[in-house]
Amino acid sequence: NAGVTQTPKFQVLKTGQSMTLQCAQDMNHEYMSWYRQDPGMGLRLIHYSVGAGITDQGEVPNGYNVSRSTTEDFPLRLLSAAPSQTSVYFCASSLTGHSNTGELFFGEGSRLTVL
Amino acid sequence: GENVEQHPSTLSVQEGDSAVIKCTYSDSASNYFPWYKQELGKGPQLIIDIRSNVGEKKDQRIAVTLNKTAKHFSLHITETQPEDSAVYFCAASGVTASKLTFGTGTRLQVTL
């Protein structure tokens, strides 16, 4: 199993551009989520999904969209990038929709810079 | 919502010494407390977790303690080794879960 795969690993955008961060998992996990990691702020939840067709907002959802059309994929879309979205983004998945019953498996991260 | 505070933000210990990282949480309904280790350039990885019906859990050199009354939990690493150098995150979530709240992280450096 490849686990959780994120692409791209690095991306530079100009303010106002759009892009999609891809996330795929091959573990048949129900739960998938996106976090952003900023210095001194830890990992903050952006959006999450407890199954195909179901998504919900996390702590910092503004400026981001998600969809979950399949169990395997959970893309994160930035519609109009802003410098405040410069960050390292992590996709994570777990077997069930209840994080207190299962380990979160993280991808290796996508470093995004918005100029 | 849940708020998790983590201290210290950086910690330097000599090889063989012990390291302790402390976290407090705000939501008394939280009942699951995992710890994640993040090595340079990698995603976080679960190293140990504890549930609210347990006061302490140990796995080789790593132990976690939980005080539900005071709403704090701690990670203890004994006989530290250079490969323990990493960023460590505590986290908390409640029964409805799906929203694991992380602390701000502790950068641990183990020096020779």
Q: What DSSP character marks residue B100? A: P
What pLDDT, on a 0 to 100 scale, did the predictor assign at position A97? 64
CA distances to B27, B42, B60, B65 from A43, rounded to whole Å, are 18, 14, 27, 22
What pLDDT, on a 0 to 100 scale, did the predictor assign at position B51? 87
Instruction: For A80-105, write each residue's pLDDT tens digit.
Output: 999 999 999 999 999 876 555 678 99
Q: Answer whether B80's CB lies under 8 Å from B15's CB.
A: yes
Cβ pair A48:B104 closer than 8 A: no
State the residue for tokens 């979205």: A85
Average pLDDT score over residue span B7-30: 96
Q: What is the CA radius of gyration of chain B?
A: 13
Instruction: For B70-99, write each residue's pLDDT tens digit.
Output: 999 999 999 999 999 999 999 998 755 567
Residue A100, phi then psi, degrees to nearest 5: -85, 5
The encoded tokens of residue B13 equal 């210990």
What pLDDT, on a 0 to 100 scale, did the predictor assign at position B1? 80
- Asked whether the predicted pLDDT for residue B107 surpasses 90, the reply is yes
Share of chain B above pLDDT 90, in %: 80
Task: List, for chain A, all residue ranges whose pLDDT scores fall below the cut of 50.
Answer: none
What pLDDT, on a 0 to 100 scale, did the predictor assign at position B95? 59
Taking alpha carbons only, the member of A72, A41, A47 closest to residue A59 is A47
- Asked whether the predicted pLDDT for residue B42 surpasses 90, the reply is yes
Q: Which of B9, B98, B107 to mutate against chain A (most A CBs within 10 Å)? A: B98
What pLDDT, on a 0 to 100 scale, did the predictor assign at position B97? 52
Q: Which residues of A40-56 are buried (b: 16+ CB within 10 A; e: fewer)?
A: eebbbbbbbbbebeebe
Among B49, B93, B102, the residue with its CB nearest the CB of A42 is B102
Q: Which of A6, A57, A99 to mutate against chain B (most B CBs within 10 Å)? A: A99
Q: Answer whether B29's CB lies under 8 Å from B92's CB.
A: no
